[in-house]
Amino acid sequence: MAEKLLAEVTEDHTMTEDWSGGKPPMKASFGKLMMWYFLVSDAFTFCGFLVAYGALRMSVPTWPVPDFVFQSFPGGFTGLPLIFVTVMSFVLIISSVTMVRAVQEGKRENRKGVVFWLLMTILGGFTFLACQAYEWTNLIAVEHMTIFENPFGTHTVDGVYLNADGTDGESFRAGDSYLVHKVDGEWDFKEFRITSGEDAGKIALTQLGPQTFGSLFFCITGFHGFHVSIGVFLLILTCINAASGLYDRKKTQYETVEKVGLYWHFVDLVWVFVFLVFYLL
Amino acid sequence: MSKHLTYEEAKKFAYYGLKLLAVLTVIEVIISLFGKGHLGWKEAYYLDWVHYICGGLIVILSLYKAYFIVFNFMHLGTETKTLIRTVLWPMTLLLFAIIAFIWEGAYWNDARSYILQQDELPSERVVPDINVDPQADQTKIIE
């Protein structure tokens, strides 16, 4: 059986033809293939980050609730949980679809169409980066979150806040969120009386939340934002090249648009999971 | 998929993708807000089983979004079978990593609370013998 197969293979020379060059392996061009494998490795990098997030989140008794942390909207609005990040998601989805359109126009060798849709995609990329800049500014400058300190906490017991004169103030339940404010550059921890569990009746102070939340947030969204920046840079280069007519003269034609498109869709894909892990769960 | 589509059909399909992804995202956000007690039922926030159900639904929707982007926008569906496998099979390793590290994280949590409990219990402790002079031991070995 094996001998027969071997004889057949040597007879029709397909093996030697396949590996003697000139033919792209897996019927994909070298550039596209390498972009795919780069994206696979990049997926592992991002997954490493997100897995670290999961492990560290599980390793502490409480974790800041995303609905409480991300509830600001430009223009001084607050109390709008997740609305702003949903807008950011939409921006990326729309820019992903404009990229699909650019690739389609590239296949038709329609130079004007490619340039137009690439410009739309660049606009989407810049909008997303601007949104992220707002989000970071709000967290750092207004809410004083850094990679070392995280003012967002969650109560593990029921209790009642104490007013300055010692009377009872607002009450809260285990699981409720709080934000520690800064007064004159110092953390202003609030006093409260515990009303549940073994320590009922004792007076305690609010504390800063899990420290890793801040560093994980800035590292992961920062790494994703870095990818978006690189993507916008590549898109601008591709757009200039397309506008100059370079791809009309090239042998591979508009394949570069397709490769940059793969990268851009990957950025959108990563955001699906960053959005899931950081904001939705 | 798009290989067999004409230009007009492909164009339509791109906008269909836009609508689909937008709708799925809105559904995800609504489920998430409901699970955190923002949409009427406040008690949902304090119930663990609500979190598990909502979390599971959101994960499934996100995975479908990811599948849609990879197979239709990135055209992985039209590549050869070998290429699809070389891209997707390594991802099964990630499945292991996610389960293993979440498990490990939960163990760290347990270990931490166990240590806290132990610290509060009045019990005999195994303490290092402070009478032994480490310097003296060292000189002995050198001699």
Tens digits of per-residue pLDDT, B74-131?
988 888 898 999 999 999 999 899 999 999 999 999 998 888 877 777 665 555 555 5
Strand A191-194 to A203-205 pairing: antiparallel
Terminal C-alpha separation, chain A: 56
Q: Do B29 and A51 touch (CB under 8 A)?
A: no
User: What whole-number distance in Å separates Cα of residue B72 and Cα of residue B21?
Assistant: 12
CA atoms within 13 A on the CB side of A175: 11
Largest CA distance in chain B: 91
pLDDT at A128 over 80: yes
> What mean pLDDT is predicted for residues A10-23?
63
Buried (b) or exposed (e) across A101-136, using 16+ Cβ within 10 A?
bbbbbbbeebbebbbbbbbbbbbbbbbbbebbeebb
Residue of chain A minimizing CA distance to B32: A280
Q: Which residue has the higher pLDDT, A78 or A135?
A: A135
What does DSSP assign to residue B73?
I
Q: How far apart are CA A221 and CA B92, in angstroms?
A: 24
What's the average model confidence in pLDDT over A42-53?
94
The share of chain A scoring above pLDDT 70, in percent, equals 93
What mean pLDDT value characterizes chain A?
A: 87
Which pLDDT belongs to residue B71?
92
Asked if B21 has any chain A CB less than 8 Å from its own CB, the reply is yes
From the list B11, B62, B109, the residue facing A59 with the nearest CB is B109
- Residue A83 to residue A29: CA distance in whole angstroms: 41
CB A268 within 8 A of CB A96: yes
pLDDT for the residue B1: 45
Region A143-162: what's the mean pLDDT? 88
B contacts of A97 (beta carbons < 8 Å): 14-15, 17-18, 21, 73
Half-sphere exposure of A231 (CA within 13 A, CB side): 33
The mean per-residue pLDDT over the stretch A270-280 comes to 93
Q: Please, which pLDDT band fits residue A114 given cuts at 50, 70 and 90? A: very high
Q: What angle do CA B91, B93, B97 make, to 5 degrees?
A: 115
A47-63 mean pLDDT: 92
Whole-number Å distance between alpha carbons of A256 and A241: 10
> Of the ranges A10-14, A23-27, A213-217, B114-118, which is most confident?
A213-217
pLDDT score of A81 = 85
The values of phi and psi at residue A110, to 5°, are -100, 95
Cβ–Cβ < 8 Å for A179, A79? no
Find tokens 């034609």 and name the residue. Answer: A253
B1 vs A76, more confident:
A76
* pLDDT value of position A67: 83
Query: Which residues 94-133 of B have a C-beta within 8 angstroms of A?
Result: 94, 97-98, 101-102, 104-106, 108-109, 112-113
Which residues, numbered 25 to 44 in chain B, qualify as contacts with chain A under a Cβ-Cβ cut-off of 8 Å? 25-26, 28-29, 31-33, 36, 38
Predicted interface score ipTM higher than 0.90: no
Q: What's the whole-number mean pLDDT along residues A101-116?
A: 91
Measured CA to CA, the distance from residue B130 to residue B66 in angstroms comes to 60
Mean pLDDT of chain B: 84
List chain A residues with CB under 8 Å of B66.
269, 272-273
pLDDT at B143: 45
pTM (2 decimals)? Answer: 0.85
Question: Phi, psi at residue A72, to the nearest 5°?
Answer: -95, 155
Classified as helix, coil or strand, A226 is: helix
**A55-66 as b/e: b if 16+ CB within 10 A:** bbbbbbebbbbb
- Partner-chain residue, chosen from B32, B98, B108, that has the shortest CB–CB distance to A51: B98
Task: Tell me if A241 sits within 8 A of A256, measured CB to CB.
Answer: yes
Return the pLDDT at A129: 96
What pLDDT, on a 0 to 100 scale, did the predictor assign at position B120? Answer: 75
Partners of B23 on chain A (C-beta within 8 Å) are: none
Contacts of B46 in chain A (CB under 8 A): 173-175
Mean pLDDT for A248-273 is 90
Percent of chain A with pLDDT over 90: 45
- Closest chain A residue to B12, measured at CA: A101
Residue of A nearest to B17 (CA): A97
> How many Å apart are CA B45 and CA A97, to the nearest integer?
35
CB pairs under 8 A between A and B: 140
User: In this prediction, what percent of chain B has a pLDDT beyond 90?
Assistant: 47
Asked if A281 has any chain B CB less than 8 Å from its own CB, the reply is: yes
Q: Residue A206 has what pLDDT?
A: 86
Cβ contacts of A33 on chain B, cutoff 8 Å: 83
pLDDT at A92 over 50: yes
Helix, strand, coil in percent for chain A, rounding step 5: 60, 10, 30
